[in-house]
């Protein structure tokens, strides 16, 4: 088999994964696209390992060994990435990357003391909330 067939297939897989990473808004689909890109790299590693082993007398199959390490790292990456996405989805209610980016910046304030002149921005949001000194007296 020619080397061109797996190289063309892996380049198509990689470009499809790259399009998925750049165009998708959902974090889970972005993770799936990253996996597609890693699988394209694995296909290239194995194809070049087989192609180079035909020319060399002693074959070490280093490309296939590197592929096994890449698969292991990709599985760990997807496990951790999916856990992070699920935790963010539970907290924020969405897995949309653009909305998550907007909420990461935080609220804008009018000045150094916040929008209502209070040192504690949480106290400005809740008018019935006791002052910190009142909390210390209530707990003592």
pLDDT in tens, 92-115: 888 888 877 665 555 555 555 555
| % the chain with pLDDT above 90 | 27
Q: Is the pTM of this model over 0.75?
A: no
3-state secondary structure 96-130: EHHHHHHHHCCCCCCCCCCCCCCCCHHHHHCCCCC
Write the pLDDT tens digit of every residue in 3-50: 999 999 999 999 999 999 999 888 889 999 999 999 999 999 899 888
């Amino acid at each position: 088999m020619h080397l061109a067939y797996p190289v063309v297939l892996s380049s198509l897989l990689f470009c499809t994964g790259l399009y998925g990473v750049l165009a998708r808004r959902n974090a889970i689909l972005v993770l799936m696209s990253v996996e597609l890109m890693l699988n394209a790299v694995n296909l290239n590693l194995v194809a070049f390992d087989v192609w180079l082993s035909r020319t060399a007398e002693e074959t070490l199959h280093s490309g296939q060994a590197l592929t096994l390490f890449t698969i292991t790292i990709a599985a760990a990456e997807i496990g951790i990435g999916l856990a992070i996405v699920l935790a963010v989805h539970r907290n924020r209610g969405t897995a949309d990357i653009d909305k998550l980016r907007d909420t990461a910046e935080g609220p804008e304030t009018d000045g150094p003391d916040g929008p209502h002149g209070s040192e504690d921005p949480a106290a400005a949001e809740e008018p019935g909330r006791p002052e910190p000194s009142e909390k210390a007296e209530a707990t003592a």
